[in-house]
Amino acid sequence: MRKSFYSWLMTQRNPKSHDPVAILADLAFDDTTFPKHTDDFEEVSRYLEDEANFSFNLSQFDQIWEDYLAH
């Protein structure tokens, strides 16, 4: 089984970076309701669209997901 998206995303944290993946990682880290145990695109995408307590450019999320799948 693939590591969860959140677990992978936490390896991308860098508060000093302006890279979209680092920004999303920091936002997700501070969001206590982010889905931490899933590797399902629809679940994470739906959360970001409908439930996240922060704004993030979802067109950038698609590329970040592709990077996740490549690892």
The pLDDT confidence band at residue 3, using thresholds 50, 70 and 90, is very high
Residue ranges of the domains in the chain?
A: 5-70
Rg (CA), the chain: 11
- Distance in angstroms (rounded) separating the CA atoms of residues 30 and 40: 21
- Can you list the alpha helix ranges (DSSP code H) found in 1-71? 5-10, 20-30, 41-50, 58-70
Mean pLDDT across 39-66:
95
* pTM for this prediction: 0.92
1: pLDDT strictly greater than 80: no
Task: Note the CATH architecture for domain 5-70.
Answer: Orthogonal Bundle (1.10)
- Which pLDDT does position 15 carry in this prediction? 86
Beta carbons of 58 and 45 less than 8 angstroms apart: yes
